[in-house]
Chains A and B, each alone.
Chain A
């Protein structure tokens, strides 16, 4: 096990005191430690938002990119260096809202990365507007009369798309969450973990409201049962069944065919392309003039 202290960073933490983000941070550190993943073996990728600051607070390689664009960046990193454990850690606004299209296509690609969604059902950093997971009718600092549209159902959508690992965690249950995260990171293929996280500053409900609804999925749940997994996913937003909803062995993961030719080396470590390959293609563009004969190019008669 890697000591938890190894993941400490010097960055000044910008989260609200008591934010459940701290719980997610701790659970992730515990999972990495238990999996023996040293900081340099991990790349944390995020977009923008309070959750997206997580990579600054856990020692690892970091790509803190644009709002909504963590997933494509993470896929690029993973393809360029498959030995790095690439983990996206960002919020519901970033991954389900601004970047929703990338998530849909990530399901189809099945890259061997992990996506953690800090799902607090609110835009916190921009001070309290509704997010894609805010329940219909809840009042926000933007939807003053209450959110008038339904929340997105991204976990059900993930299962419909046959995402190979789909789970829901709760930020207040460190041990349970650390276990789920370990399973997610170990899973070969795309893993999506939606982490229910009360927002203690802008949220509409006290922590106790979440705690009552964060109910462990029964132990006899068959994670390969797709219909049952979808039904469990759709219990949210009224309740939050916590645990692994759906898991199946990966079909081919993204980039595997390319890797069969190149091995698992990082792209920067591959030998340069054999110059003859390009030379041969340039040679194929050449056209030699036929030796002159009397019949040629005399004009039409």
Chain B
């Protein structure tokens, strides 16, 4: 078996995450890579949710379960259609459902006198099915529960043993699962877990934000860990969030904020303020499906256009869209560096998939080169003008209060020294040109897309952001079927780089929105032949199987 997709399904509050984490870590301890995703409703208790583990496969979602562990029968019914054929179903079964019936709750009460250990029985049963030894599982348990009293841990370990034994006894030996060990060490991390670390390492000192799924984890990471040295404040709204961080940045602190689409909508006047006042700022926009409240806990790539265009007037900005933890570390450093160099807002686009998924990667490295300090040396100026006109449009920047030089920062159209002006003849055109010159220079240093298996490709899938691994997997599947596909994946999505694409191949765009937002950008920028658009907008992440199905469905003769 190449890879294994495990769904742990149940209601919110039933402890899916604990079971999933324990089993995922146990798999990692045996050298098996895992990619975990969470899929849940916008509620605190009840409903249907799943924790998914893809073992020994790419870090990309699969929407089909090879093993389905169900904590209640309603969830078993709800997720029945996700089961692959054949699929090992275990746990509380749906009425009339086939599989290994293990009544976790009843067993917990009867054998241990406590329903609380039901999940440990479930974890044990799942471990047995996926070929994990009791020893490895136990180690994972002890690690996970290290803060609990020894007798509690012992009880849970014993419960997991019972689950392991029950499942082993019921499992048909011919269906035993054997996964390949590939790595001796893995870093197991989510994108939103590493962004705060990278930001702190990049010199971020200030964050103001308002809680909004799926962005909230970034602000809480700073709050939980004061040693990172970032002043973090939960403010009254996203308008305060962006204006406060801009104030801090104007006074010289490297600053950031984070939100999702609705919050970013409130921030847009502030984005424009960053553009006009030429104040560096990093804004993480964690996308979820809209419009308005949309689907708060689901994923989408719907805010690309909004990230690029949100904010009135014309000014420079960059939009970066990482796809995995290392990418996110690099994009965070890059965001702070570009913000500082061009004195502008830089947006980092993530989404619920990246926020809630854990990737296993061989290593994670913080860039060695520090983000260059964008502040000038005050001693160099006899007199200082914040918006001095220069050839590249970038004025030497001093912070408010950095020295005896007065710094005047103005949201009105302004003179070089920062005072309000209505001089339409000279100053206004010069300031517009100055701001746009920065955009032109920025375009010159935007990274090229990553090319994947484009040698000999006659069809190229173009994607951006979180879908990278799914798209590359789709290319692998298509190539294995002798279909000449490759991929181009963009991490720096705005401005688009100076790039000439060959017109001899056919292009497909793959993105998590219905309107084909990136496709339209590309069509406006480059006239290249588009074969089709693959769009997913049901709230689930893009996956290789559906991409392949769409490609082949649209074009059965694609290999010819």
Binding site for B on A (CB under 8 A): 9-11, 14, 38-41, 43, 45, 48, 53, 55-56, 59-66, 68-69, 72-81, 83-84, 101-102, 104-105, 255, 258, 261-262, 266-270, 272-273, 275, 277-279, 281-282, 285-290, 292-293, 295-301
Q: How far is the CA of A268 from the CA of B229 in the complex (A)?
A: 12
A287 touching B185, Cβ below 8 Å: yes
Given A270-B205, A300-B171, A278 contacting B399 (CB threshold 8 A): no
Distance between Cα atoms of A50 and B408 in the complex (Å): 17
Give the segment of B238-246, B349-357, B462-470, B483-491 that binds chain A: B238-246
Secondary structure at the A interface, as helix, strand, loop or mixed, is mixed
Q: Is the CB of B402 within 8 A of A73?
A: no
Is B181 a contact partner of A289 (Cβ separation < 8 A)? yes
If A277-B228, A289-B30 are given as contacts, then 20 extra A-B residue pairs at C-beta distance below 8 Å, sorted by A number, are: A56-B419, A62-B407, A66-B269, A66-B270, A69-B270, A74-B247, A79-B206, A80-B206, A84-B251, A101-B240, A261-B229, A266-B402, A267-B205, A278-B200, A278-B366, A287-B186, A290-B30, A296-B133, A296-B136, A297-B181
User: Do the beta carbons of A77 and B28 come within 8 Å of each other?
Assistant: no
Cross-chain contact of A266 among B189, B401, B407 (Cβ < 8 A): B401
Residues of A within 8 A of B250 (CB): 63, 73, 76-77, 80
User: Nearest A residue to B173 by beta-carbon distance?
Assistant: A301
Could you give 18 example pairs across A and B, Cβ below 8 Å? A40-B404, A64-B412, A72-B239, A72-B243, A73-B244, A75-B244, A76-B206, A76-B208, A76-B248, A76-B249, A80-B250, A266-B252, A272-B370, A277-B229, A287-B28, A287-B186, A288-B185, A297-B179
The answer on a CB contact under 8 Å between A80 and B178 is no
Question: Do A76 and B184 touch across chains, with their CB atoms under 8 A apart?
Answer: no
Q: Is B411 an interface position by the 8 A CB rule?
A: yes
Taken together as a complex, chains A and B put the C-alpha atoms of A279 and B244 apart, in Å, by: 29
Report the minimal beta-carbon distance from A153 to chain B, rounded to whole angstroms.
20
Asked whether B237 is an interface residue with its Cβ less than 8 Å from the other chain, the reply is yes
Could you tell me which B residues sit within 8 Å of A by CB distance? 25, 28-32, 128-129, 131-133, 135-136, 139, 167-168, 171, 173, 176-179, 181, 183-189, 193-194, 197-198, 200-201, 203, 205-206, 208, 225-229, 231, 235-237, 239-241, 243-255, 269-270, 273, 277, 360, 364, 366, 370, 375, 399-412, 418-420
Q: Give the A-B pair count, Cβ closer than 8 A.
A: 267
Q: Nearest chain B CB to A261's CB is how many angstroms away?
A: 7
From A41, A56, A80, A289, contact of B29 by CB (8 A) = A289
How far apart are A89's CB and chain B's nearest CB, in angstroms? Answer: 14
Q: A40-B404, A62-B408, A258-B231 are in contact. Are A73 and B253 (CB under 8 A)?
A: no
Q: With A69-B239, A69-B243 given, is the CB distance from A273 to B410 under 8 Å?
A: no
Using CB atoms, name the residue of chain B closest to A61. Answer: B400
Whether A296 pairs with B135 at a CB distance below 8 angstroms is yes
- Chain A residues with CB under 8 Å of B241's CB are 72
Per the bound structure, the CA–CA distance linking A207 and B206 in Å amounts to 45
Determine the residue in chain B with the shortest Cβ distance to A69. B243
A76-B255, A261-B226, A285-B189 known; A83+B410 contact, CB < 8 A? no
A11 CA / B229 CA spacing, docked (Å) = 40
Chain A residues with CB under 8 A of B178: 297-299
B247 touches A299 (CB 8 A): no
Minimum C-beta distance from A83 to chain B (A): 7
Docked complex Cα distance between A105 and B227 (Å):
27
Q: Which residue of A lies closest to B412 (CB)?
A: A64
